[in-house]
Amino acid sequence: MVEVKGVSKRYGSKAVIDQVSVSIPKGKITSFIGPNGAGKSTLLSMISRLITKDDGDIYIDGEDVHQAKSKELAKKVAILKQTNHLNLRLTIRELVSFGRFPYSQGKLTREDWKHVDEAIRYMELEDMQDKYIDQLSGGQRQRAFIAMVIAQDTEYVLLDEPLNNLDMKHSVQIMKVLRRLTNELGKTVVIVIHDINFASCYSDYIVALKDGKVAKEGTVDEMMDRHVLKDIYEIDMKIETVNNEKICVYFK
């Protein structure tokens, strides 16, 4: 379980995250939603110790994230940020093998390579594993990065806008993989996501942030409510149920 207790982050005098407390359940997909500038990515980065916090505490399985050894934490939490434009020429297989760094420190054992192969297979990248990252399409590249995170084999997987710039097919593919990661491998997945309908169809738990505070949190049923969403996004929308999924219509 991830516990965030009274955490704040200020840039200058502006609080980007203001006294946020939230618990993220284990073995589930949790989505952070909210308008631009709500502090979703900042919160995710603080949970994964990529940026420092100004106040409060963050615990993962009872361990203080910002006190823990970075090396050890890398075996427990993996984060993928949205800006992964690499200008290094690496093959998919090389990239994925970096996921084993926390375990191998560069000297990969047979066991490590087994994890690499599995991760590549999991993301269906076998055919192109020796291709260079810069020759791939956006969707393939995103899959390669997720394969690396899978090879890292952490209990917690944090993804910052994993669907950014992906078409529908690839978005669905990624979300299905995340679903499988939780269902089959028991991982805890936390994502920042803009598409409210993807959040609705694939998450177990939704946390809505607004102006650096938690506006509301709850299960999909509790969150996919027109009054709740209107408070968060300040536009009118209709919630329809299609194939037992709650779909939010807000386009006009």
Partner 1 sequence: MKKRYLIVALIVLSILSLFIGVTHISPLDLFNLTDDQTQIVWKSRIPRLVSIIIAGVSLSISGLIMQQLSRNKFVSPTTAGTLDSARLGILVSLILFTAASPIEKMIVAFIFSLAGTFLFMKILDKIKFKDTIFIPLVGLMFGNILTSISTFFAYKYDLIQNMAAWLQGDFSMVISGRYELLYISLPLLVIAYIYAERFTLAGMGEDFAMNLGLSYKRVVNIGLVIVALSATLVVLTVGMIPFLGLIIPNIVSIYQGDHLKKSLSHTALLGAVFVLFCDIIGRIIIYPYEIPIGLTVGVIGSGIFIYMLMRRRAYE
Residues that bind partner 1 (CB under 8 A): 45, 48-50, 69-75, 78-81, 84, 86-91, 94, 98-99, 101-102, 105-106, 132, 134, 152
Nearer to partner 1, 116 or 232 (CB): 116
Q: How far is the CB of 212 from partner 1 (least distance, A)?
A: 21
Q: Which is nearer to partner 1, 162 or 217 (CB)?
A: 162
**Contact (Cβ atoms closer than 8 angstroms) between residue 220 and residue 246:** yes
Judged by beta carbon, residue 90 or residue 136, the one nearer partner 1 is 90
Closer to partner 1 at the Cβ: 38 or 44?
44
Q: How far apart are CA 59 and CA 171, in angstroms?
A: 30
Q: Name the minimum Å distance from CB 152 to partner 1.
A: 7
Q: Which is nearer to partner 1, 88 or 235 (CB)?
A: 88
Residue closer to partner 1 by CB (options 127, 130) is 130
The DSSP code sequence of the chain is -EEEEEEEEEETTEEEEEEEEEEE-TTSEEEEE-STTSSHHHHHHHHTTSS--SEEEEEETTEETTTS-HHHHTTTEEEE-S-----S--BHHHHHHHTTHHHHTT---HHHHHHHHHHHHHTT-GGGTTSBGGGS-HHHHHHHHHHHHHHHT-SEEEEESTTTT--HHHHHHHHHHHHHHHHHH--EEEEE-S-HHHHHHH-SEEEEEETTEEEEEEEHHHHS-HHHHHHHH-S--EEEEETTEEEEE---
Task: State whether the Cα torsion 77-83-87-93 is positive or negative.
Answer: positive
Between 113 and 132, name the residue whose CB sits nearer to partner 1. Answer: 132
| Closest distance to partner 1 from the beta carbon of 133 (Å) | 9
Distance (Å) of CA 121 to CA 56, 126, 176: 40, 6, 15
Q: How far is the CB of 228 from partner 1 (least distance, A)?
A: 32
CB of 121 to partner 1, least distance (A): 21
Minimum distance from residue 158 beta carbon to partner 1 (Å) = 9
* Smallest distance from partner 1 to CB 196, Å: 26
CB atoms within 10 A of CB 113: 15
